[in-house]
Amino acid sequence: MKINILLKYLPKILIEYVLFHEMVHLIERKHNEQFWRIISRKFEDYEALEKDLFNHGFLIQKSGP
Ligand SMILES: [Zn+2]
């Protein structure tokens, strides 16, 4: 996913999460176990955050394999 200008309308925690998510993709391209392990080190409740993003119309999980 490209960092979208609409990001600025998201709650700060979600912006931080999206940026981190995209950063982790630089290390691990796919949404595999390793990917979510790195994510969960910083965002334990990433599943809830993904859900929040979905509710805001963001589907970053979709950009995976
Ligand atoms: Zn992703």
DSSP per-residue codes, 16-50:
HHHHHHHHHHHH--S-SHHHHHHHHHH-TTHHHHH
| DSSP class of 2 | -
Q: What is the residue extent of each domain of the chain?
A: 5-63
CA of 10 relative to ligand 1 center, distance in Å: 17
What predicted TM-score, i.e. pTM, was given to this entire model?
0.77
In terms of C-beta density within 10 A (0-12 exposed, 13-18 middle, 19 or more buried), how is residue 50 classed?
buried
pLDDT in tens, 40-53: 999 999 999 999 98
Quick one: tokens of 53? 């993003």
pLDDT in tens, 20-33: 999 999 999 999 99
CA of 60 relative to ligand 1 center, distance in Å: 5
Cα separation, 21 vs 30, in Å, equals 11
